[in-house]
């Protein structure tokens, strides 16, 4: 087994329909689990932060058995038949809580389970057998990118202990633009989306953390691409887990509806195991 440090990842999960219409991002996710296993060894657990699970303080969902939560409406009823019954990771939750406490971050640990679609949609492609323990970490969406990065830094030691850290959100996320404009799923990308995505790549490669932490003021079209930023904040948690010294690497780039980016990033020294795109 490869014993390299697992590279923390950020995955854009898209709409729940990604589970039925994989397109380019789904095809990438279908290969991702195998690639993780080959590069770093099979994870002993997955710690995942989703844009759709949040709280007033960080909360570890330490239930012993998860199932898919259908936290959406108005989509194809077939989605309600899809399952993801993954084991929980209560021991890892205890370990993680102690790690965060040592870093001065108070965290709650609750005996609850359940995976929102930002978790089960990508994991169902990555590890369809649902045989790897999953630990969801609810984050605080009112905290700044810098605070999210610090949370990720505190989680970093887990990456060297066989834990795959994942932030799940969306590199661009303006649903009002999608719903009001009603573009085709394969519509050509609008300029604000392209400019914002390219800025994120360039600043990441340059390790320009100061600019990235202040993206809402410095990135082009930031408020258009993220009217609220809960879908981008998991990016900073994954980035923090990778550390300040290693550049982020975009490992997948695709788009739906002309402005909903499906990009994925890897962080930390081990990110070099993937080709940049």
d(CA 139, CA 199): 25
pTM: 0.97
Query: What is the β-pairing status of strands 134-138 and 45-50?
Result: parallel
For 85-140, what is each residue's pLDDT tens digit? Answer: 999 999 999 999 999 999 999 999 999 999 999 999 999 999 999 999 999 999 99
The answer to whether residues 81 and 37 touch, using CB atoms and an 8 Å cutoff, is no
Name the nearest CA neighbour of 173 among 117, 233, 250, 213: 233
In this prediction, residue 141 carries a pLDDT of 97
Q: What is the mean pLDDT of residues 66-82?
A: 94
Strand blocks (E) in 13-54: 45-50
The answer to whether residues 139 and 56 touch, using CB atoms and an 8 Å cutoff, is no
For 49-60, what is each residue's pLDDT tens digit? Answer: 999 999 999 999
In this prediction, residue 1 carries a pLDDT of 37
d(CA 95, CA 79): 34
pLDDT at 181 over 90: no
For 26-65, what is each residue's pLDDT tens digit? Answer: 999 999 999 999 999 999 999 999 999 999 999 999 999 9
Domains of the chain (ranges plus CATH)?
9-191+227-273 (3.40.830.10)
Q: What is the CA radius of gyration of the chain?
A: 17
What is the percent of the chain with per-residue pLDDT over 70, rounded to a whole number?
Answer: 99
Residue 257, class by beta-carbon neighbours within 10 Å (0-12 exposed, 13-18 middle, 19+ buried)? buried
d(CA 131, CA 146): 34
For 223-267, what is each residue's pLDDT tens digit? Answer: 999 999 999 999 999 999 999 998 899 999 999 999 999 999 999
């Amino acid at each position: 087994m490869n014993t390299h440090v697992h590279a923390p990842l950020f995955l854009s999960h898209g709409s729940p329909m990604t589970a039925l219409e994989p397109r380019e991002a789904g095809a990438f996710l279908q290969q991702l689990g195998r690639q993780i296993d080959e590069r770093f060894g099979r994870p002993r657990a997955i710690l995942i932060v989703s844009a759709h699970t949040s709280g007033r303080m960080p909360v570890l969902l330490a239930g012993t058995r998860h199932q898919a939560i259908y936290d959406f409406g108005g989509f194809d009823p077939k989605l309600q038949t899809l399952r993801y019954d993954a084991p929980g990771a209560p021991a890892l939750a205890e370990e993680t809580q102690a790690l965060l406490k040592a870093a001065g971050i108070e965290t709650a640990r609750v005996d609850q389970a359940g995976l929102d679609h930002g978790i089960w949609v990508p994991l169902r492609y990555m590890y369809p057998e649902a045989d790897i323990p999953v630990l969801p970490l609810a984050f605080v969406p009112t905290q700044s990118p810098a605070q999210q990065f610090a949370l990720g830094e505190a989680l970093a030691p887990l990456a060297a202990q066989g834990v795959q850290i994942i932030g799940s959100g969306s590199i661009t996320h303006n649903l009002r633009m999608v719903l009001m404009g009603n573009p085709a799923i394969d519509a050509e990308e609008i300029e604000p989306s392209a400019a914002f995505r390219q800025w994120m790549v360039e600043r990441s490669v340059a390790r320009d953390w100061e600019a990235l932490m202040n993206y809402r003021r410095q990135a082009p079209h930031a408020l258009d691409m993220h009217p609220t930023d809960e879908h981008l904040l998991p990016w900073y948690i994954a980035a923090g887990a990778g550390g300040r010294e290693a550049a982020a690497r975009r490992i997948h780039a695709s788009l739906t509806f002309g402005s909903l980016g499906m990009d994925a990033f890897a962080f930390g020294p081990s990110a070099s195991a993937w080709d940049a795109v």
